[in-house]
Structure 1
Amino acid sequence: MSSTLPVSVLDLVGLRTGESAGSAIARSVDLAQHVERLGYTRFWLAEHHSIAGLACSATSILIGHVAAATKTIRVGSGGVMLPNHAPLVVAEQFGTLEAIYPGRIDLGLGRAPGGDFHTMRALRRDLKQSGDDFPELLEELRTYLGPEKPGQAVKAHPGQNSNVPITLLGSSGYSAGLASMLGLPFAFAAHFAPDYLFEAARLYTTRFQPVATLQKPWLMVGVQVIVAETDAAARRLLTTPMQRFLRLIRNQPVELLPPVDSMEPLWNDIERAAVENRLGAAIVGSEATVKAKLEALIERTGASEIIAVTDTYEHADRLESYERLARVAAAIEGPAAVRTDHAAAGV
């Protein structure tokens, strides 16, 4: 039996210029409460380090803070960059979160550094963990979160046998292939790296190996979404994330900036091409326009769930966009039920 399209939120906890981290975090909590009332499936928080303008470095702490302020929505990481952390520590953190908020915690995992070379070195202390050992780190983490194995010397308490649901995140075919092989949900980061979306989606959905907890592929697509009263109003709001990406490629702070009537005075042709490439999958417009674009995206990818990234300057515009998106999603047919163990699959 099919249902409406599941929609979720990915939040980077963006700051305005001169704003305190506490103020930005409070705004994120308000957003989580808002989308919970609207029936969103999950609220995920990213992991980024040493990036001025973002306050999402201590991801597990933010997850606990948001989970404490909400009641039903799933809260998780989009994602924890596993090579930055000891798997045991991740298992203990998320095992603890699961113990406090049972059945509501998601563990999305990526293998990127979440920062530049110097930040990666500061996080990892050495560069032995390059991301190439991601499958081994993942297997170690799953050992700490799953049932205790005979002779297992190190155990996560809390964590052991918590079975916190894991989703693999990626922007290429690597994690798509690994997720398909392991029978895990997969989330593609089209909100900043759309180039390989369709190839990764095809690889994941065609090679998926069913497991007890997930019998069919569950593809989640992270995408920039802005819904407003008109297409023109939404396109104007998009100039805020455009300015963020422009400042990112210039290695400048990425605080939220007010929308502008035109980006033309702000960038050159090369910068424009780079920003437009990053936002190539963005879904922007009125409710009717967004519905048509979402349906086309689902048709091409086989997506089971949309994770919307909506960064507007005014908080009210962000709340309105997510409210409009909820109405759009309610009019789109979602995937048939594919779960045999809701808690274990996390979908």
Structure 2
Amino acid sequence: MSSIPLSVLDLSPVTAGSDAPTALRRSVELAQLSESLGYRRFWLAEHHFAAVASSSTVTLIGLVAAATSSIRVGSAAVQLGHHTPVSVVEAFGTIDALHPGRLDLGLGRSGQRRKEATGSGPKPPRPEPSPEHEVDGLLIPEPFSLEGLLGSPKLAATATALQITGAEPPDFTEAVDDILALLEGTYSADGVALSAVPGEKADVEVWVFGSSKGQSAQVAGARGLPFVANYHVSPATTLEAVEAYREAFVPSRDLSEPYVVVSADVVAADDDATAQELASTYGHWVCGIRSGAGAPPYPDPASTPALSDTERAVVDDRIRTQFVGAPTTVVDGLRTLARVTGADELVITSVTHDFESRKHSHELIAREWGLAAA
């Protein structure tokens, strides 16, 4: 099982007492370390108005690509609600022109306004959430409700700030199709053929990221694209997302069968107790995100009080689905995740307040996983 590839997802977190320039320099250093250890990919997440320095993800991807030589670099994921397909393809095409054949263009639905249901009839009842359970040793918690988060004033303000006044984001399916057409050289607008320069025929691999069995999984399957299921974001719905993708899969020119990557939050240290201490403020960080305030500077365990019972209840599913401990503990959890989901590859994200501890976590996991360069 440990022979499947392992990759890295980085959020370029700003830690308490530090700043964004430091976070960016650390991301570049972590990418170089990941390459030396034998990780397959180094992906960067897009977040806005939070203590996360990868907000201009494409810019950072270009800088990371320039600072490395062989590891694949990509987005996890471009929030298509905030970008036009043309701008995405031109940006990735620019980087590919200078660092050819190394880019993963990950696409996500984030930032798109949901279309309101039409018609005068009653809305169909929402399905009851599945109770917490285990599948062959993998914890599948009860789904976390996003209703409170969707009412956040900051979230609404963020959406407003990231949109051009009067503009309406395209449907996700249409945006993905436009990106594929732009890369292929078959794109047209108003009946006029248009070529992205650079971008057309760029050697860029397109991915779709998703947290449920909904549109993202369906689009990835129907277009024959590789799919990333976000266990580290929505552990309750990962299995159904993977199943929906596989059921919808249609072979494409580049992919003859489904290809699934599953993400996981991890912290490894020399022993379980040290790892638990390093990860002890993870819940505080997630609580800030789920409150709608955005990710806060990653807290220092040495000066951060324990979560209250109310706060703990908000993030309990994320804390208990994080893989924390000595290298054998973490890798055993990752092997379970890969086995249960049938993943073809795993991508790990590891955040600690201390950067040296974060690097060490990646080193320990690479060695225990058996990466060739580790």
Partner of 2:155: 116
Contact 2:182 2:199 in 1 (8 A): yes
Question: 1:129: how far off?
Answer: 3.5
| Identity in percent | 39
**What does residue 167 of structure 1 align with?**
207
Cα distance, 1:168 vs structure 2: 0.3
**Structure 1 pair 252/57, CA: closer, same or farther in 2 (3 Å)?**
closer
Structure 1 303/127 Cα, relative in aligned 2: closer, same or farther at 3 Å?
farther
Of the structure 1 ranges 299-308 and 10-19, higher mean CA displacement relative to structure 2 is found in 10-19
Equivalent residue for 1:88, pick from 81, 86, 89: 86
Q: Once the two structures are superposed, what CA deviation does each residue of 1:298-341 show, in whole Å capped at 9, x if it has no partner?
A: 11101111111100111111111111111232289xxxxxxxxx
Query: Are the aligned partners of 1:284 and 1:290 in contact in 2 as well (CA < 8 Å)?
Result: yes
C-alpha spacing 1:176/1:295, structure 2 compared with 1 (3 Å): same
Task: Say whether residues 1:139 and 2:138 are aligned partners.
Answer: no
- 1:228-243 aligned within 5 A: 228-243=269-284
Structure 1's 226 and 127: CA in aligned 2 closer, same or farther, altered over 3 A?
A: farther
Secondary structure of residue in 2 paired with 1:312: coil
Which residue identity lines up with residue 155 of structure 2 in the other structure? Answer: D
Given that 1:247 and 1:253 are in contact with CA atoms closer than 8 Å, whether structure 2 keeps it comes out as yes
CA distance in 2, matches of 1:260, 1:217: 44
User: Structure 1, residues 268-296: CA drift from partner, whole Å, max 9, x if none?
Assistant: 32321221223443111112212221121
Q: In the alignment, does 2:109 pair up with 1:71?
A: no
State the TM-score, normalized to the length of structure 1: 0.88
Partner of 2:361: 321
Aligned residues: 327
1:284 to 310, 319, 324: 324
TM-score w.r.t. length of structure 2? 0.82
Deviation (angstroms), 1:241: 1.9
Q: What is aligned with 2:132?
A: none
* Greater Rg over alpha carbons, structure: 2
**Distance (whole Å) between structure 2 residues aligned to residue 222 and residue 141 of structure 1:** 24
| Partner SS for 2:193 | coil
Distance 2:166 2:257 in 1: 37
Partner of 2:263: 222
**Structure 1 Cα separation of the partners of residues 313 and 91 of structure 2:** 40
Q: How does 1:1-347 map to 2 (within 5 A)?
A: 4-51=3-50, 53-113=51-111, 116-126=155-165, 129=168, 133-148=171-186, 152-174=192-214, 175-250=216-291, 251=293, 254-260=296-302, 265-330=305-370
Residue range with higher mean Cα deviation, 278-287 or 56-65: 278-287
Which residue identity lines up with residue 43 of structure 1 in the other structure?
F
Does the CA-based 8 Å contact 2:213-2:243 persist in structure 1? no
2:7 partner SS:
strand
Distance 1:306 1:57, change over 3 A: same
Which residue of structure 1 aligns with residue 148 of structure 2? none
Question: CA, structure 1 residues 143+241, in 2 after alignment: closer, same or farther (shift >3 Å)?
Answer: same
The answer to whether the Cα contact below 8 Å between 2:2 and 2:369 also exists between their aligned partners in 1 is no
Give the deviation of 1:126 after TM superposition: 4.1
Measured in 1, the distance between the counterparts of 2:260 and 2:321 equals 16
Deviation sequence 1:122-181 (CA, Å, 0-9, x none) = 2122476467x1000111111111134687522210001114111001111121122111
Moved more, 268-277 or 37-46: 268-277
1:192, distance to aligned residue in structure 2 (A): 2.1
For the aligned residues, what is the CA RMSD?
2.3
3-state SS in 2 of match to 1:145: helix
Counterparts of 1:215 and 1:290 in 2: how far apart (Å)? 32
Mapped partners of 2:227, 2:318: distance in 1? 20
Runs of 4+ in 1 over 4 A off after TM superposition: 149-152
Contact 1:5–1:329, Cα closer than 8 Å, also in 2: no
Query: Would the alpha carbon gap of residues 59 and 181 (structure 1) be closer, same or farther in structure 2, given more than 3 Å must change?
Result: same
2:326 & 2:44 partners in 1: Cα distance?
Answer: 26
Distance in 1 between the 2:286 and 2:160 partners?
Answer: 24
